[in-house]
Structure 1
Amino acid sequence: MTGLDTVAHAAEDPQRQQPWADLGLKADEYASIREILGRRPTSAELAMYSVMWSEHCSYKSTKVHLKQFSEIPQETPAGAMLAGIGENAGVIDIGQGYAVTFKVESHNHPSFVEPYQGAATGVGGIVRDILAMGARPVAVMDPLRFGPLDADDTHRVLPGIVAGVGGYGNCLGLPNIGGEAVFDATYLGNPLVNALCVGVLRHEDLHLAKASGAGNQVILYGARTGGDGIGGVSVLASETFEDGGPAKRPAVQVGDPFMEKLLIECTLELFAAGVVAGIQDLGGAGLSCATSELASAGDGGMHVDLDKVPLRDSTLAPEEILMSESQERMMAVVEPDDVARFLAICAKWEVDATVVGEVTDTGRLHIDWHGERVVDVPPRSVAHDGPTYHRPYARPEAQDALQADGAESLPRPSTGAELRETLLRLAGSPNLCDKSWITDQYDRYVQGNTVLSQPSDSGMVRIDAETGLGVSVSTDCNGRFAALDPYAGAQLALAESYRNVATGGAVPLAISDCLNFGSPEDPGVMWQFAEACRGLKDACLELGIPVTGGNVSLYNQTGSTAILPTPVVAVLGVVDDVTKRTPTGFQAEGERVFLLGETREELSGSEWAHVVHGHLGGLPPAVSLAAERSLAELLHEGVGLLTSAHDLSEGGLAQALAESCLRRSVGARVEVPGDAFVALFSESAARVLVTVAPDDADALVGLAERHGVPIAALGETGGSALSVSGDSGAEFEVDLGDLRETWTRTLPDALG
């Protein structure tokens, strides 16, 4: 695109050839744009529509399924939801005049192309989403997915991604309190980098993204606009990768966390001064998004002089400026009398700020370049009224055969020696091993409010120092379960995250999701997506918690190989007093060990089947949301009685015992009921391993009976080994030193 293409030229030159296909638009989408405008678009308008109508920004393939989340009541167990789907992030009331905002988003494709910057700017983007709601960011999390640990490309992307997450978050002074690192062959060539941020605000500090009040000024502030990230995530996330390795590096944004730190403090002071009437961060689609969304959510009109935008590269054309996804930028709407004070605060923080336009009552978004009009569009057509696809979806023909191929017939260990070897093999496997190689690169305790973090079941931060009010957050998803049954798999992701929050004693309040799937042009993938959405909706209705917002990431596949469907679910819960919580891991010798919940022979999709047999087939564990809810209520009521709690998930009881012993080097002697192998390695849901002081054992049994939660006494803590016996006579013992060596050496051996 060369030369200045104005609105006047577009009207005079209707047949001009335009590179709409190169920008990711379909022929019918280009025709729709021409119909909306009554002419061909200018180059700048074409750039705006192309990024805003991309899969990443418009959800054009998925919004027909996402709309069912609006059927869920928009209140939480603690009170009102102050802002929900459609805003930069959801905001929920947690009591005492406080509100919390949280959201999880993806930065998958940029992180494959340029691992460090892709991951770093993923963190930066989600932090600005939280900031734009009027909140101070207080913590981040990072659910990650990689290809096999021994694959060359995993060794290329993993260190850079982890360094990017840690480098950006550490520089911002935000504790990283949780996340996941999962390895599977389907993520080879398409790692998943999901980033979550939590922010805190008082109710009266809530801000929304809208441009209202004709004559109000539009101010762009933060970093200057450059050529990095042109098209960025909005383009990269709308296509699959081919088998050939990274490309398109210029499309990846470059982050500056020190600029973002200044931007955070500057923005919070602007809020406190009362000089912000509306605000929007510049993330995906950059200025195209900020201008069109602010205008369409407000009075519908805005005028912008694009040549006033501060640039790092003076050679950028108007369409490039509109498409740039350069980081650390915000756009605010400010009343004229407040402009001088706004600019003074920005100057205090050494943050560039420029008046680039004003709110109008025209109902149009007008953008000029050196006095020439290059954009004249109805803003809603760009931001909200993009195409809606009813993609065909169908249950894959191979799904029945996949579900029929269960793990029940796989050879399984039976002797004590075989069970011991299996426990050690799983404990040292990539998905279950110690993740300290990753998490030690993150500052978990900066700000001094972190209460729980890795490797606890959930992250917990204190909100109010006087009362101890806090929040707990967890992210989870087992992609193998979702592949076997996407409806149940999504519910199991929610259930595990819900349970993890509950183990610390928090009351689960709401969810955010990051739905990572393959190509929407594949009917089988769209069936997976539709089933996952239906599963989440039904689960939220039964549990009584809302979806506050989230993200969809599609085209996650390399060639014809799609990733495992990965609907990551984040659950946030409230804790009245963080000093009254239940820790993860055995605390002391001589305590009684109990298993809460029912164990069934559920091994399909398990870590045992995956690691030992390379097998995926059968049906995932049964979902009982009623059981999860009863268990969560017991765990909340049990704070102060329980001395520890650890959920059972991947690796089953064996892994929970191993991790609980290793947390503080406290061994245990347990006797498992029934078939020892099933008892140890089944991955039945709605189960938690707990301990109590000996004198409190009867009280725990009574508490479980009142809540209708099955309970089994397993043994007691103590010693320097994990000793296991079973009804079948299978017995074994693992020295904690040997167990720790196996558990901790996997990532250092592989990654150095």
Structure 2
Amino acid sequence: MTLPDADRDLIVAELGRDPTPTEAMLFENLWSEHCAYRSSRPLLSAFDSEGEQVVIGPGDDAAVVSLDDETYITLGIESHNHPSYVDPYDGAATGVGGIVRDTLSMGAYPIALADCLYFGDFDREHSRYLLDGVVEGIADYGNAIGVPTVAGATSFHEKYEGNPLVNVACVGLLSADRLITAEAQEAGNKLVLVGSSTGRDGLGGASFASEDLAEDAETEDRPAVQVGDPYTEKLLIECNEALLDEELVESCRDLGAAGLGGASSELVAKGGFGANIDLNEVHQREPEMRPFEILLSESQERMCYEVRPENVERVQELAARFDLGSAVIGEVAEGNYVCTFDGEAVVDVPPEYVADGAPMNDLDSVEPEQATRDLPEVVLSQALEAVLSDPNTASKEWVYRQYDHEVGLRTARRPGDDAALLDVPEANTKLALTAGADPNWTNAAPYDGARAVAFENATNLAAKGATPLAAVDCLNGGNPEKPDVYGGFKGIVDGLADMCSALSVPVVGGNVSLYNDSVAGPIPPTPTLAMVGSADGPSPGMTLSGDGDLYLVGYSGDALGGSTLLQHEDGSDAFPALPDDDTAAAALDAIRGIVTDDSTLAAHDVSHGGLAVTLAEMVSEEVGADIAVENVVQLFDETPGRVVVETADLDALLDLAGDVPVYELGTTTDDGYLGVTVTDDGDEYVAFDATTIAEFRDVLTRELD
């Protein structure tokens, strides 16, 4: 990729001269889609990012949300999609490293990770190769740095075959007095680079992430993939804590996309300053590096700190204590952003122009067509087996068992439930975390599917008795220059924004990844959402106790569009009708009240795979269920905003539900079978025991181990 002629003309007009080669490459990276959001920023104003609990919203390395007056959390998310195709292990690992450093740069200590992964069809060997490498990369990095991976999702869809997605979120914890930002504070303060030495790995990563993947990307683009070292990252985490303990940091930014050039120019631009940087002072691990290589290298495990002159010596002493390199590379200044090399200025540009001056794209969009109702004929036993054994609804234990999800001793509810729960005694609460999207939903109906993604994540929290605090999104799309692709992307932005606003969930930050196209075509528009909530009351499990009856609470959409069932059957259908805004919010309020009531014995949300998968996940070898539905649509409808509840007190359930519909499903049993009767087809009955269900749902382990 080279600097487009139109951008070069604007830069020449601003500077009054041609840019130097180093300036041209700096602009190319900082004005790329990956850094500047040129196609997506015009759409992002749809999100409501404000709330009493929001301390810092979009625009910094991570968002900051208050749990109480003295305790804050950070929330951030990023993508490492292209790198994970080229080199799945290092691409995914450095995605974890990057989002953790975003957390550090706000003054927080990382306490939890969530990974949302999207691959091509599971039965393809290449998809399994990518899955294996990505999961290993996340596990090795996250486990080594001691941050538990507690939530996430893994999805398979044919349109990801040439371009997988790796979206990683991180939650951090800090006290209010430790908060720092990426906004330079005072001219004359020094810029100190701490961490690994700088090499040539990851060069051009920002511009690489803003292009379609070519057929030869796995070999030609490998130099653009960073190589991580989790043990250095762990030292950096602890060093960052020591620097904060001694109040030595004025502002901070981690080195991610566009390397030192991105971090330092954005840091000073946000504060209204310039900088003087000597690139020769950057500690390097390779000989004879050129100025643009030093400036734009995306070598990992590096942080740029603004430090008062009198504190520089102590910062370097602490870096040395943790076996980290450090260098005073320059200072915050008035005027331009200036970088010198061998005594000559190789960059001399207005900081706000290079960091935030990219012109926005004005793109055409076409709204995608929606499916019409054309339901297939299904054989109940075959449909149940197909849906229960589908890799998208199957158990993801093969993935999360490779992660250390208990390190740090905060994990109160582990992966595999509706949402993870983390103990936060500092604020006398539990923090609930959920993350994911469903490409089948948004591929079928971008706007409605994205509304469903937001509704589903909020339902996951409600099913654990949690009230949402905030969310961050990772918006993934194809080439925005194609009107139909941009139309789908616009749809997921608006759908996510509308439902989050309806549920009073501020979207406080996020990431955009476009140009996720390959020879296989564009990916489905994929709005990954990570949402946190506070859970102060009891939180029921999802395994049936056998001491109550079963009811479905919530509004059903009475359609199968985007469902797992339709991926196996020859038919189509409209996307399920979701409740309107006020009704959706009321439904979740009712669910929270129900699941935290003493009479509720178990609860589990209904989503991917519908009621069939929900019940399959609730039964055990000791306790089964015998339920009846009117038709196949009711069994496989994936409308979110619903939970299956086992209760010992129907009157209490009905009272707490209020106007929200409650449907009788059936009873628990002591035989370990899931029995299903469909009444509109001559009372067709199918039953599977828990062992058989587990075998159906263990397809990842069976095929990958």
Give the TM-score of the pair, scaled to structure 2. 0.96
CA offsets 1:196-242 (integer angstroms, 9 cap, x no match): 1000111222111022211111100001101110112x122111123
CA contact (8 A) 1:478 1:566 kept: yes
Q: Say if 1:83 and 1:532 are closer, same or farther in 2 by CA, change over 3 A.
A: same
Q: Say if 1:536 and 1:434 are closer, same or farther in 2 by CA, change over 3 A.
A: closer
Determine if the alignment matches structure 1 residue 708 to structure 2 residue 660: yes
Alignment partner for residue 462 of structure 1, among 406, 410, 423? Answer: 423
Of the structure 1 ranges 337-346 and 288-297, higher mean CA displacement relative to structure 2 is found in 337-346
| Offset at residue 722 of structure 1 (A) | 1.2
Alignment partner for residue 128 of structure 1, among 71, 83, 101? Answer: 101
Unaligned runs of 5+ in 1: 1-21, 414-418
CA offsets 1:93-151 (integer angstroms, 9 cap, x no match): 11252111112211000000000000000010011111111111001011000001111
Determine if the alignment matches structure 1 residue 593 to structure 2 residue 555: no
Q: What SS class does the counterpart of residue 634 from structure 1 fall into?
A: helix
Letter in 1 for 2:630: G
CA offsets 1:378-422 (integer angstroms, 9 cap, x no match): 0111111112111121225xx2xx523x3x431223xxxxx2332
Determine if the alignment matches structure 1 residue 447 to structure 2 residue 404: no
Q: Say if 1:488 and 1:279 are closer, same or farther in 2 by CA, change over 3 A.
A: same
Q: What SS class does the counterpart of residue 619 from structure 1 fall into?
A: coil
Q: Give the whole-Å Cα distance in 2 for the aligned partners of 1:108 and 1:620.
A: 30
**2:607 aligned residue:** 649
**1:575 aligned residue:** 535
| Offset at residue 253 of structure 1 (A) | 0.1
CA contact (8 A) 1:176 1:453 kept: no
Q: Give the whole-Å Cα distance in 2 for the aligned partners of 1:536 and 1:236.
A: 27
**1:235 aligned residue:** 207
CA contact (8 A) 2:492 2:526 kept: no
CA offsets 1:461-496 (integer angstroms, 9 cap, x no match): 11116x641211111212222123211111111000
**Pairing 1:568-717 to 2, within 5 Å after superposition:** 568-576=528-536, 580-586=538-544, 588-613=545-570, 618-638=574-594, 639-641=596-598, 642-662=600-620, 665-675=621-631, 677-692=632-647, 694=648, 696-705=649-658, 708-717=660-669
Q: Give the whole-Å Cα distance in 2 for the aligned partners of 1:635 and 1:173.
A: 34
**2:685 aligned residue:** 731
Q: Give the whole-Å Cα distance in 2 for the aligned partners of 1:321 and 1:108.
A: 24
**Pairing 1:72-151 to 2, within 5 Å after superposition:** 72=48, 74-75=50-51, 79-95=52-68, 97-151=70-124
Q: What SS class does the counterpart of residue 218 from structure 2 fall into?
A: coil
Alignment partner for residue 27 of structure 2, among 23, 32, 49? Answer: 49
CA offsets 1:254-309 (integer angstroms, 9 cap, x no match): 00000000101111111121110010000111011111101101131111111000
Q: What SS class does the counterpart of residue 409 from structure 1 fall into?
A: coil
Alignment partner for residue 345 of structure 2, among 363, 373, 379? Answer: 373
CA contact (8 A) 1:627 1:686 kept: no
**1:4 aligned residue:** none
Letter in 1 for 2:609: G
Q: Give the whole-Å Cα distance in 1 for the aligned partners of 2:260 and 2:543.
A: 48
Q: Say if 1:73 and 1:376 are closer, same or farther in 2 by CA, change over 3 A.
A: closer
Percent sequence identity is: 36
CA contact (8 A) 1:84 1:548 kept: yes
**1:63 aligned residue:** 41
Of the structure 1 ranges 525-534 and 601-610, higher mean CA displacement relative to structure 2 is found in 525-534
Q: Give the whole-Å Cα distance in 2 for the aligned partners of 1:590 and 1:575.
A: 25
CA contact (8 A) 1:90 1:549 kept: yes
Q: Say if 1:620 and 1:726 are closer, same or farther in 2 by CA, change over 3 A.
A: closer
CA offsets 1:64-83 (integer angstroms, 9 cap, x no match): 111232xx2610xxx33100
Letter in 2 for 1:610: Q
Unaligned runs of 5+ in 2: none
Q: Give the whole-Å Cα distance in 1 for the aligned partners of 2:100 and 2:568.
A: 36
Alignment partner for residue 504 of structure 2, among 520, 525, 544? Answer: 544
| Offset at residue 451 of structure 1 (A) | 1.2
**1:436 aligned residue:** 397
| Offset at residue 432 of structure 1 (A) | 1.1
**2:465 aligned residue:** 505
Determine if the alignment matches structure 1 residue 33 to structure 2 residue 33: no
Of the structure 1 ranges 319-328 and 89-98, higher mean CA displacement relative to structure 2 is found in 89-98
Q: Give the whole-Å Cα distance in 2 for the aligned partners of 1:384 and 1:709.
A: 50
**1:751 aligned residue:** 704
Q: Give the whole-Å Cα distance in 2 for the aligned partners of 1:737 and 1:305.
A: 65
Letter in 2 for 1:507: T
Q: What SS class does the counterpart of residue 60 from structure 2 fall into?
A: coil
Q: Say if 1:623 and 1:124 are closer, same or farther in 2 by CA, change over 3 A.
A: farther
Letter in 2 for 1:751: L
Determine if the alignment matches structure 1 residue 313 to structure 2 residue 286: yes
Q: What SS class does the counterpart of residue 616 from structure 2 fall into?
A: helix
| Offset at residue 713 of structure 1 (A) | 4.7
| Offset at residue 541 of structure 1 (A) | 2.4
**Pairing 1:471-490 to 2, within 5 Å after superposition:** 471-490=431-450
Letter in 1 for 2:371: Q
Letter in 1 for 2:642: R
CA contact (8 A) 1:162 1:438 kept: yes
Q: What SS class does the counterpart of residue 292 from structure 2 fall into?
A: helix
**2:336 aligned residue:** 364
Q: What SS class does the counterpart of residue 585 from structure 1 fall into?
A: coil
| Offset at residue 719 of structure 1 (A) | 2.2
Letter in 1 for 2:591: L
CA contact (8 A) 2:159 2:520 kept: no
Q: Give the whole-Å Cα distance in 2 for the aligned partners of 1:73 and 1:139.
A: 22
CA contact (8 A) 1:582 1:640 kept: no
Q: Give the whole-Å Cα distance in 2 for the aligned partners of 1:671 and 1:440.
A: 32
**Pairing 1:288-299 to 2, within 5 Å after superposition:** 288-299=261-272
Q: What SS class does the counterpart of residue 268 from structure 2 fall into?
A: helix
Q: Say if 1:279 and 1:426 are closer, same or farther in 2 by CA, change over 3 A.
A: same
**1:412 aligned residue:** 378
**Pairing 1:393-404 to 2, within 5 Å after superposition:** 393-396=365-368, 399=369, 402-404=370-372
Q: Say if 1:620 and 1:612 are closer, same or farther in 2 by CA, change over 3 A.
A: same
Q: Give the whole-Å Cα distance in 1 for the aligned partners of 2:239 and 2:97.
A: 16
CA contact (8 A) 1:623 1:685 kept: no
Determine if the alignment matches structure 1 residue 155 to structure 2 residue 107: no
Q: Give the whole-Å Cα distance in 1 for the aligned partners of 2:696 and 2:506.
A: 41
CA contact (8 A) 1:600 1:678 kept: no
| Offset at residue 622 of structure 1 (A) | 2.8
Letter in 1 for 2:562: G
Of the structure 1 ranges 714-723 and 131-140, higher mean CA displacement relative to structure 2 is found in 714-723
CA contact (8 A) 2:452 2:639 kept: no
Determine if the alignment matches structure 1 residue 718 to structure 2 residue 670: yes
Q: Give the whole-Å Cα distance in 2 for the aligned partners of 1:245 and 1:321.
A: 24
| Offset at residue 536 of structure 1 (A) | 2.3
Q: What SS class does the counterpart of residue 355 from structure 1 fall into?
A: strand
Q: Say if 1:685 and 1:31 are closer, same or farther in 2 by CA, change over 3 A.
A: same
Q: Give the whole-Å Cα distance in 2 for the aligned partners of 1:343 and 1:717.
A: 66
| Offset at residue 311 of structure 1 (A) | 0.3
Letter in 1 for 2:551: F
| Offset at residue 375 of structure 1 (A) | 0.8
Letter in 2 for 1:604: G
CA contact (8 A) 1:305 1:369 kept: yes
Determine if the alignment matches structure 1 residue 302 to structure 2 residue 275: yes
**1:224 aligned residue:** 197
Q: Give the whole-Å Cα distance in 1 for the aligned partners of 2:115 and 2:375.
A: 36
Q: Say if 1:598 and 1:211 are closer, same or farther in 2 by CA, change over 3 A.
A: closer
Q: How many residues align?
A: 700
